Structure 1
């Protein structure tokens, strides 16, 4: 009987965590629109777009880092943009349930790269991971009217 009550309470809590919507500080609509035009990075730089559009985990905010520096705190229907040095390998990471999930990407100067942050079920809270996506897919999702530019440099940790 106690196990059934604990299981029910856990299910209800999990549903509440996954059902709501989180909000984070946002950039201006003008800056969001400018970056949705996908300008070429300046000089010897490369551009990194990181977006989140998953249905799961809407109530959660997750920090995203580039080379161990805070890119920002994501929420559903948000994206970030950052220029980084081209011709180098960069590490992108996102906080997850027990430790950060990390991926590396070698960037070519003048090119934009797209990454999707995915929220997944966890033991206590949802976990997160980043996955590279094609230019076509990244541009398609970010171009939607409901995906907006979140403020960079604001992380919870």
Structure 2
């Protein structure tokens, strides 16, 4: 009975605190928010995390097994990928990565939301494809994080 209060307090702090990651310059962030087309034969995948739920948690993001970066609240990443093939976007979660497989078309920008969720021991994370309109609207209020630096390889 006495152990419940400390567990609830710990869970509250973890889910509402504020983590931080290394950021790109304001100029780089502004350039990425212009949502220009990818180079010929490629597509771009924007991965973003908005809101403060799970704010104390940093979660790794990978595309095709390559570290894109470690997310924190209100950041985004952008990665150019080969067009007209499938790509797997993954995020670290409580027990195993959560994956999203998307078939991209050359010349198109794709938007993937990383979201936090309650877990058994620590907060988990998931990824979902969102519309271009929703993705652009969300990213407009976020900042570009530096790529790389995943905590787990």
1: CA distance between counterparts of 2:135 and 2:86? 20
Q: Which residue of 2 aligns with 1:149?
A: 144
Gaps of at least 5 residues in structure 1 are none
Cα deviation 1:105-137 (Å, max 9, x = unaligned):
001000000010000001111000000000000
Match of 1:8, SS state, is helix
Residues 57 and 120, structure 1, Cα contact 8 Å, conserved in 2: yes
2: CA distance between counterparts of 1:56 and 1:121? 10
Report matched runs for 1:8-27 at 5 Å. 8-27=5-24
1: CA distance between counterparts of 2:10 and 2:42? 44
What TM-score does the superposition give when structure 1 sets the normalisation length? 0.95
Q: Alignment partner for residue 75 of structure 2, among 70, 74, 78? A: 78
Q: Alignment partner for residue 106 of structure 1, among 103, 106, 119? A: 103
Gaps of at least 5 residues in structure 2 are none
2: CA distance between counterparts of 1:19 and 1:141? 20
What TM-score does the superposition give when structure 2 sets the normalisation length? 0.97
Cα deviation 1:46-84 (Å, max 9, x = unaligned):
000000013310000000000000000000000000000
Residue-pair matches, total? 152
CA RMSD, aligned part only? 0.7
